[in-house]
Amino acid sequence: MKLSNYIFLFSVLLILFSSCNKKEAAEPLIDSAVQAEREDKIIQQYLKEKNITAQKTDLGIYYIVLAEGTGAVTPKTADSVVINYEGQVLYGRQFDSSYEKSNPLAFRIGKRTVVIGFEEAVKQMKVGEKTRFFIPSRYVYGQGGRFEGTREIIPPFATLIFEIKLEKIL
């Protein structure tokens, strides 16, 4: 084989391999509207199976007030709050609890130090109120889930249940 043929073959291979390395924008695994509808049905089925009557926010977060709070004031964006909570995967295990850590969580609403569904849930509560929230994955960890190293803490597309008590607004 002639040198020119080797150069041509090498050039073709180089082009093929370099095109495999191009990073393209990742497309979502599933259409968000389809996923939202699917999760809403899953939450409704769970509530029906457990014989639970819940209310639904405009965002599609379901909730049950377990203990009424006091006053008419609810936290707003930029307020700092202190809460106690337990989090579990729908149909699954508990993954976090401030009670078990004996350490209430303090955060500022709007700073995105917690997932958006958590912030939205707390914004509708009164001090002293304890509420159970059913939060779709799009407002928590979404298609990526949550991992610590290689250990899966929350699976992708997991609907989460948070039982939250608003201790105080700072």
Q: What is the model's pLDDT at position 13?
A: 47
The predicted structure's pLDDT at residue 23: 46
pLDDT given for residue 88 in this prediction: 97
pLDDT number for residue 124: 95
Is the pLDDT reported for residue 22 higher than 50? no
| Full-model pTM | 0.81
Select from 3.10.50.40, 2.40.10.120, 3.40.50.2300, 3.30.530.20 the CATH code of 29-169.
3.10.50.40
pLDDT band (50, 70, 90) for residue 71 = confident
Q: Would you kindly state where each structural domain of the chain is located, as residue ranges?
A: 29-169
Model confidence pLDDT, tens digit, residues 95-116: 999 999 999 999 999 999 999 9
Whether residue 163 contacts residue 131, with contact meaning beta carbons closer than 8 Å, is answered with yes
pLDDT band at 63 (very low <50, low <70, confident <90, very high): very high
Q: Is the pLDDT of residue 30 over 80?
A: no
Give pLDDT, residue 32.
Answer: 86
pLDDT at residue 18, rounded to an integer: 53
pLDDT of 92:
87
Residue of 67, 62, 170, 80 whose CA lies nearest to 119: 80
Q: Residue 11's pLDDT is what?
A: 53
What is the per-residue pLDDT across 36-58, written as a single tens digit (0 to 9) for each? 999 999 999 999 999 999 999 99
- The mean pLDDT value for 141-163 works out to 95
